[in-house]
Structure 1
Amino acid sequence: MNLSVLKESVNFLNLLFDNVTSAVYLVNQEARVVAFNDAFEALFQKSDDKILGELCGNVIGCMYAVEENKDCGTTRNCSQCSLRNSILKAATEKIPTYKDLLVRDFYINNLKITKYFQFTTKDLEFQNETLILVILDDITALKMSELQLQEKNQKLAEYNKQLNYMMSVVAHDLRNPLGAIRSFAQLFSQSCDQFDDAERQDIFKTIVNGTNSCLNMLDDLLDYSRFEAGKIEFKIDRHDYLSVINHVVNINSILAKNKNINIIKEFEFKELMLMIDPSRMEQVIGNLLSNAIKYSPEGTEIKVIIRRENGWIKTEVIDQGPGITAEDQKELFKPFRRANVRTTGGESSTGLGLAIARNIINHHGGKIGVESEVGKGSNFYFYLPLKPIKESDGN
Structure 2
Amino acid sequence: MANNSIFDKETQLLEESAQVLEDDNLDRDALRAEYETLFKGYRRLVKQTQRLIKMSDRQQLELLELNELKNKFVGMAAHDLRSPCSIINGYSELMKSSASMDDAERDEFIGIINEVSGNMIKMLGDLLDVSAIESGRLVLEPAKGDLGDLIEQRVTFLSMLSEKKDISLTCQKADGLPQISFDSDRMCQVIDNLITNAIKFSESGTAILVTADADDEGIRFQVADQGPGIPPEDLDKMFGTFQKLSNRPTGGEKSSGLGLAIVKKIITAHKGTINVESEVGKGSAFIVTIPGA
1:176 equivalent in alignment to 2:89: no
CA shift for structure 1 position 311: 5.0
Higher RCO by CA contacts (8 Å cutoff, separation 6 or greater): 2
Q: Choose from 284, 288, 292 the match for 1:382.
A: 288
Q: Which residue of 2 aligns with 1:69?
A: none
Q: What SS class does the counterpart of residue 371 from structure 1 fall into?
A: strand
Q: Which residue of 2 aligns with 1:157?
A: 64
Structure 1 contact 297–344 (Cα < 8 Å) conserved:
yes
Q: Which residue of 1 aligns with 2:15?
A: none
Q: Quick one: structure 1 residues 373 and 139, their matched pair in 2 at CA, closer, same or farther if it must change by over 3 Å?
A: farther
Q: Which residue of 2 aligns with 1:10?
A: 28
Q: What SS class does the counterpart of residue 275 from structure 1 fall into?
A: strand
1:333 equivalent in alignment to 2:201: no
Amino acid corresponding to residue 239 of structure 1 in structure 2: G
Q: Quick one: structure 1 residues 336 and 192, their matched pair in 2 at CA, closer, same or farther if it must change by over 3 Å?
A: farther
Structure 1 contact 296–344 (Cα < 8 Å) conserved:
yes
CA shift for structure 1 position 226: 2.1
Q: Choose from 139, 156, 166 the match for 2:46.
A: 139
Q: CA RMSD in A?
A: 2.3
- Determine the C-alpha separation between the residues in 1 that align with 2:130 and 2:182: 19
Amino acid corresponding to residue 10 of structure 1 in structure 2: R
CA shift for structure 1 position 302: 0.5
Q: Which residue of 1 aligns with 2:124?
A: 218
Q: Quick one: structure 1 residues 383 and 188, their matched pair in 2 at CA, closer, same or farther if it must change by over 3 Å?
A: same
Q: Choose from 175, 179, 189 the match for 1:269.
A: 175
- Determine the C-alpha separation between the residues in 2 that align with 1:206 and 1:261: 23
Structure 1 contact 329–339 (Cα < 8 Å) conserved:
no
Q: What SS class does the counterpart of residue 297 from structure 1 fall into?
A: coil
Amino acid corresponding to residue 185 of structure 2 in structure 1: S
Which of structures 1 and 2 has the bigger CA Rg? 1
Give the TM-score, by structure 1 length: 0.64
Alignment of 1:301-316 (within 5 A): 301-316=207-222
- Determine the C-alpha separation between the residues in 1 that align with 2:177 and 2:237: 35
Structure 1 contact 323–373 (Cα < 8 Å) conserved:
yes
Q: Which residue of 2 aligns with 1:97?
A: none
Structure 2 contact 238–260 (Cα < 8 Å) conserved:
yes
Q: Which residue of 2 aligns with 1:65?
A: none
CA shift for structure 1 position 202: 1.7
Deviation per CA, 1:203-251, whole angstroms, max 9, x where unpaired?
Answer: 1111001111111111112222222333333221111112211111111
1:351 equivalent in alignment to 2:257: yes
- Where does the alignment leave 5 or more consecutive residues of structure 1 unmatched? 24-38, 40-134, 389-395
CA shift for structure 1 position 15: 4.6
Q: What SS class does the counterpart of residue 256 from structure 2 fall into?
A: coil
Q: Choose from 168, 185, 192 the match for 2:92.
A: 185
Q: May I ask how many residue pairs the two structures share in their alignment?
A: 272
- Determine the C-alpha separation between the residues in 1 that align with 2:107 and 2:291: 47
- Determine the C-alpha separation between the residues in 2 that align with 1:145 and 1:311: 46
Q: Which residue of 2 aligns with 1:258?
A: 164
Q: Which residue of 1 aligns with 2:146?
A: 240
CA shift for structure 1 position 369: 2.2
Amino acid corresponding to residue 290 of structure 2 in structure 1: L
Q: What SS class does the counterpart of residue 139 from structure 1 fall into?
A: helix
Deviation per CA, 1:20-46, whole angstroms, max 9, x where unpaired?
Answer: 2x24xxxxxxxxxxxxxxx7xxxxxxx
CA shift for structure 1 position 7: 9.2
- Determine the C-alpha separation between the residues in 1 that align with 2:183 and 2:92: 40
Amino acid corresponding to residue 267 of structure 2 in structure 1: I
Amino acid corresponding to residue 14 of structure 1 in structure 2: R
- Determine the C-alpha separation between the residues in 2 that align with 1:294 and 1:312: 29
Whichever structure has more helix as a proportion of its residues is 2
- Determine the C-alpha separation between the residues in 1 that align with 2:225 and 2:278: 10
Amino acid corresponding to residue 242 of structure 1 in structure 2: G
Q: Quick one: structure 1 residues 136 and 280, their matched pair in 2 at CA, closer, same or farther if it must change by over 3 Å?
A: closer
Structure 1 contact 174–214 (Cα < 8 Å) conserved:
yes
CA shift for structure 1 position 144: 2.3
Whichever structure has more strand as a proportion of its residues is 1
- Determine the C-alpha separation between the residues in 1 that align with 2:99 and 2:176: 54
Structure 2 contact 177–214 (Cα < 8 Å) conserved:
no
Deviation per CA, 1:121-161, whole angstroms, max 9, x where unpaired?
Answer: xxxxxxxxxxxxxx955633322222222122112212211
Give the TM-score, by structure 2 length: 0.85
Identical counterparts, % of pairs: 35
Amino acid corresponding to residue 375 of structure 1 in structure 2: G
